[in-house]
Amino acid sequence: MSEINSRVIKTLSQVIDPELRRPITELGMVGEIAETSSGISVAIKLTVSHCPAAEQIETNVSKVLIAEFGDVVTVQMQVMTADELNELKAQLRGSLEPKSNPFTAGTSTRIFLFGSGKGGVGKSTVTANVAVALASQGYEVGLIDADIFGFSIPGQLGLTAKPTRLDDMILPPVIHGVKVISIGMFLPSNEPVAWRGPMLHKAIEQFLTDVYWGSLDFLLIDMPPGTGDVAISVGQLLPTAKSIVITTPQMSAAIVAERSGSAGLKTGQEIFGVVENSSYLLDAVGKKLEIYGSGGGLEVARSLSERTGTAIPLLAQIPISPALSAASDAGMPLVLSNTTDPASQAISALAVAIAKDKLPMTSRTLNVKLS
């Protein structure tokens, strides 16, 4: 390899593919490098012609090359051949067969299911913000919107990008450092979903097997409210997942939330803890106003502790925050837009508690044996 080629490759190793989250030099995306009479010509090979990150990749490539070589660089955007694409897919899958679930019992990814007994308790808002908070701590995070009928995660995050299809492999869009997949990304406008159980199971299965997640530290699942088909499917497909039960202070909500947490026990999910959302409102002088009553979160934690025979903690009490609602509507997570808001701080603390959790014993044992 010539000195120029070596310098180009070293320079381009700084460019990270926005979807695959790896240097383009490791993905076979750097094509022919040539010295011309007017400077240097570099070919960059996209995975597909309609790659949504094409403009960003070209901009980043041009930026680093000009910084290294000056204004004598020409970037030619090309597309991988079928053989090159197949080689890339094989590289990404590693030892996994096509359409394999990477989150089986031996996974090193920590998986958390955010569930609630009923809708309207802020489950999706909490899940989206926790995912972003974990990513901001430097973790690799994936987020599945498993609420097929009431999907809202793309809107919560301000995500409008669509997944990229590499034949039978799907690259999830990345926003705020989080890889995200939702049925809403595959539907026109606000079209409703009207599916029976088998279709729901198939959708969740494809989110796990067809999507390229890469090496994740955390996978968060925004579950649908209640204890229906999706909960059963997730329980079967994600054996190491732990449940986080979201409730509000009202006793009526707590009773239903307890039911949701108990359902997870039947499919083998350990309960990590309880989160009480809309716990109180802080007035102008910092006094807590318990608008929706009190004690719901503690009651759910107490009841689930009795059922499981282990201490289930109340992980967080998130205050009512107009800023939190506004941030969700605007598609900008509060943990990024307003770090001093009490709700933002409570959610960030929840993310820290989740980050401190250890891997399931089966995964830790397996990793020791493999090392």
Q: What is the mean pLDDT of residues 105-127?
A: 90
SS3 46: strand
Residues of the chain with CATH 3.30.300.130: 3-93
Q: How confident is the model at residue 269 (pLDDT cuts 50, 70, 90)?
A: confident
What's the CA gap between 307 and 141, in Å, rounded? 31
Q: How confident is the model at residue 267 (pLDDT cuts 50, 70, 90)?
A: confident
What's the CA gap between 58 and 51, in Å, rounded? 11
pLDDT at 258: 76
Residues of the chain with CATH 3.40.50.300: 110-370
pTM of the shown model: 0.87
What's the CA gap between 296 and 255, in Å, rounded? 8
Gyration radius of the chain's alpha carbons: 23
pLDDT at 368 over 50: no
Task: Write down the CATH number for the domain with range 3-93.
Answer: 3.30.300.130
Per mean pLDDT, which range of 55-59, 146-150, 255-259 is the poorest? 255-259
**Residue 181: how many CB atoms within 10 A of its CB?**
25
What's the CA gap between 158 and 155, in Å, rounded? 5
Q: Between the CA of residue 15 and those of 22, 36, 139, 303, what are the distances in Å?
A: 8, 23, 19, 51
What's the CA gap between 268 and 305, in Å, rounded? 16
Q: Quick one: CA dihedral 194, 197, 203, 204, positive or negative? A: positive
Torsion angles phi and psi, residue 30, rounded to 5: -95, 120
What's the CA gap between 369 and 371, in Å, rounded? 6
What's the CA gap between 46 and 80, in Å, rounded? 6
Model confidence pLDDT, tens digit, residues 156-201? 999 999 999 988 899 999 999 999 999 989 887 766 676 666 788 8
List, in sequence order, the alpha helices (H) in 13-152.
54-69, 82-93, 123-136
Structure tokens at 86: 């197949």
Q: How confident is the model at residue 231 (pLDDT cuts 50, 70, 90)?
A: confident
Homologous superfamily of 110-370: P-loop containing nucleotide triphosphate hydrolases (3.40.50.300)
Q: Which residue has the higher pLDDT, 313 or 230?
A: 313
